């Protein structure tokens, strides 16, 4: 064979190989396009970054299924994966510069891409480990829900923060309104997975003490939480098992002042001493608030005494006297809340009755007796007229059958003015 013949054969082989490689690369790209078209029909909100992840996963699957002898095809797949990876990095870099572009909204969640560093978390959707280095994952910035990026559209549970943030949200105060498996069609209440006691441990139904519904093992991890209904109805703080979505709901709503304890269970203060005491202290705080609003030195004195810093944790205490958070009730049961509020009330009382001349000047003197000692509406021995807010000794006010002399004077003055107006009208006529 001549040199020219040899060169001609080598050139022919290279050309044939190039055509083969180009054809396979185009074939692979066509497959990717077909898969993406199918995914777009299933998920209307698919963005470019999600499409790139799907394409890369398909390339990985092709490499795993490929024979070891297909080196040429393997190389083509690897080259395509490199191109896809570079494009993915560019897309993620653009999204990092514009955080709004990297937020994926689903079921009320706002999922944001997380970094590759740190410990490997757990995906709450597919219940498997998230390998940060190899797998993109997202976390809801509102409720903390963690999931693989590829599992976002499989999330069934609505965002707990989104639910709690709705106007008029309240806890379900029915004590474990248990349903039957038949009423759920033998399906998990969250993901509709088949559950049954007769199908083995993998399909074992798990009851949530808050909703009374049954869930599968993926949606119910046997987490223990204190149930609001049992606290309000029975003052029972024993933790009980709840599903994952309820756990997030209870944690998110634990700082929301939505429990009107005295209205929901009026008899509770009669049986629980700590509840009776905190109700009394909260009414005193609202009465003391009136003095602070009129006190020119209160803000400066409060800062010096760190009063405002204490109240920042209990802002709802100065807005109403009957609303509690779950954290309040848990702290009250442990004894911490009552002691802390007692200390704050002592600081308030000292400022009003001893340290501030303006507050002392707003004190009252009982008009129903000869005792000229000043009294305050938040004193245990004081009673307040509901009409004019005048303050009297409790025993004096009860003896006078709760007839207020200030209201009597006002009524007499009003009658006199009306009489004068009538006389003037008659004179003109």
pLDDT at 379: 81
pLDDT band at 267 (very low <50, low <70, confident <90, very high): very high
- With 0.85 as the threshold, say if the pTM is over it: no
pLDDT > 90 fraction of the chain, expressed in percent and rounded: 23
Q: What's the average model confidence in pLDDT over 325-351?
A: 90
pLDDT band at 370 (very low <50, low <70, confident <90, very high): confident
Contact partners, residue 38, CB within 8 Å, separation at least 6: none
pLDDT at 74: 81
pLDDT at 39: 77
pLDDT band at 301 (very low <50, low <70, confident <90, very high): low
pLDDT at 5: 39
Residue 406: pLDDT above 60?
Answer: yes
User: 64-97: per-residue pLDDT in tens?
Assistant: 887 777 777 888 888 888 888 887 777 666 566 5
pLDDT at 53: 83
Alpha-carbon distances of 180 from 175, 186, 196, 360, rounded to whole Å: 15, 9, 11, 64
Contacts 24+ apart (CB under 8 A), 332-341: 332/274, 332/275, 332/278, 333/231, 333/235, 333/237, 333/274, 335/274, 337/278, 338/274, 338/277, 338/278, 338/281, 340/310, 341/278, 341/281, 341/282, 341/285, 341/314, 341/317
Helices 273-294/336-350 angle, 10° precision:
30
**CA 285/CA 362 separation, integer angstroms:** 16
Higher pLDDT, 170 or 315: 170
Residue 333: pLDDT above 70?
Answer: yes
Residue 238: pLDDT above 80?
Answer: yes
pLDDT band at 309 (very low <50, low <70, confident <90, very high): low
pLDDT band at 99 (very low <50, low <70, confident <90, very high): low
Q: Which two tokens stand for residue 379?
A: 């004193």
Q: What's the average model confidence in pLDDT over 291-310?
A: 59
Q: Which two tokens stand for residue 52?
A: 């790139």
pLDDT at 15: 41
Higher pLDDT, 54 or 403: 54
Residue 14: pLDDT above 60?
Answer: no
Residue 3: pLDDT above 50?
Answer: no
Residue 322: pLDDT above 70?
Answer: yes
User: 270-300: per-residue pLDDT in tens?
Assistant: 999 999 999 999 988 888 887 777 775 555 5
Query: CB of 215 within 8 A of CB of 206?
Result: yes
Q: Find the range with the poorest average confidence among 8-22, 188-202, 246-260.
A: 8-22
pLDDT band at 347 (very low <50, low <70, confident <90, very high): confident
Q: What is the 3-state secondary structure (H, E, C) of the chain?
A: CCHHHHHHHHHHHHHHHHHHHHHHHHHHHHHHHHHHHHHHHHCCCCCHHHHHHHHHHHHHHHHHHCCCCCHHHHHHHHHHHHHHHHHHHHHHHHHHHCHHHHEEEECCEEEEECCCCCCCCEECCCCEECCCCCCCEEEECCCCCEEEHHHHHHCCCCCHHHHHCCCCCCCCCCCCCCCCCCCCCCECCCCCCECCCCCCHHHCCEECCCCCCEECCCCCCCEEECCHHHHHHHCCCCCEEECHHHHHHHHHHCCCCCEEHHHHCCCHHHHCHHHHHHHHHHHHHHHHHHHHHHCCCHHHHHHHHCHHHHHHCCHHHHCCCCEECHHHHHHHHHCHHHHHHHHHHHHHHHHHHHHCHHHHHCCEECCCCCCCCEECCCCCCEEECCCCCCEEEHHHHHHCCCCCHHHHHHHHHHHHHHHHHHHHHHHHC
pLDDT at 381: 76
| Average pLDDT in the chain | 80
User: 163-219: per-residue pLDDT in tens?
Assistant: 998 888 999 999 988 888 889 999 999 888 899 888 777 788 999 999 999 999 888
**CA 8/CA 315 separation, integer angstroms:** 89
User: 131-169: per-residue pLDDT in tens?
Assistant: 877 788 888 888 888 998 888 988 888 899 899 988 889
- Residue among 288, 292, 297, 293 nearest 379 (CA): 288
Report the Cα 224 to chain-centroid distance in Å.
Answer: 17
């Amino acid at each position: 064979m001549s040199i020219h013949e040899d060169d001609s054969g080598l050139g022919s082989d290279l050309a044939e190989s190039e055509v083969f490689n180009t054809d396979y690369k185009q074939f692979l790209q066509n497959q990717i396009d077909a898969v993406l078209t199918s995914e777009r029909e299933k998920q209307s909100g698919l963005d470019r970054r999600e499409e790139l992840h799907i394409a890369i996963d398909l390339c990985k699957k092709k490499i795993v299924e490929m024979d070891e002898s297909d080196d040429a095809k393997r190389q083509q797949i690897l080259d395509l994966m490199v191109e896809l990876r570079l494009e993915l990095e560019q897309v993620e870099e653009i999204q990092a510069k514009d955080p709004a572009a990297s937020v994926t909204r689903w079921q009320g969640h706002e999922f944001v891409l997380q970094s590759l560093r740190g410990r490997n978390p757990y995906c709450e959707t597919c219940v498997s480990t998230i390998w940060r280095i190899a797998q993109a994952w997202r976390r809801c910035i509102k409720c903390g829900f963690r999931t693989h990026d590829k599992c976002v559209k499989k999330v069934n549970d609505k965002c707990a923060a989104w639910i709690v943030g709705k106007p008029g949200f309240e806890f379900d105060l029915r004590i474990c309104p248990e349903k039957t498996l038949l009423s759920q069609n033998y399906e998990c209440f969250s993901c509709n997975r088949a559950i049954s006691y007769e199908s083995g441990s993998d399909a074992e139904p798990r009851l949530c003490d808050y909703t009374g519904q049954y869930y599968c093992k993926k949606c119910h991890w046997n987490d223990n939480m204190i149930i609001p209904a049992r606290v309000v109805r029975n003052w029972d703080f024993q933790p009980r098992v709840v599903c994952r979505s309820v756990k997030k709901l209870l944690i998110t709503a634990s700082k929301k002042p939505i429990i009107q304890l005295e209205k929901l269970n009026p008899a509770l203060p009669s049986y629980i001493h700590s509840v009776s005491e905190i109700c009394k202290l909260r009414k005193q705080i609202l009465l003391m608030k009136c003095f602070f609003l009129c006190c020119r030195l209160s803000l400066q004195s409060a800062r010096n005494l760190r009063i405002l810093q204490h109240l920042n944790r209990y802002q709802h205490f100065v807005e109403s006297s009957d609303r509690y958070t779950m954290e309040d009730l848990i702290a009250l049961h442990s004894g911490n809340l009552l002691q802390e509020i007692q200390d704050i009330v002592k600081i308030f009382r000292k400022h009003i009755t001893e340290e501030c001349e303006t507050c002392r000047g707003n004190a009252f003197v009982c008009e129903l007796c000869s005792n000229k000692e000043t009294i305050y509406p938040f004193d245990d021995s004081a009673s307040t007229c509901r009409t004019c807010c005048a303050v009297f000794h409790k025993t004096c006010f009860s003896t006078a059958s709760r007839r207020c002399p200030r209201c009597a004077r006002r009524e007499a003055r009003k009658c006199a003015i009306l009489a004068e107006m009538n006389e003037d009208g008659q004179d003109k006529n």
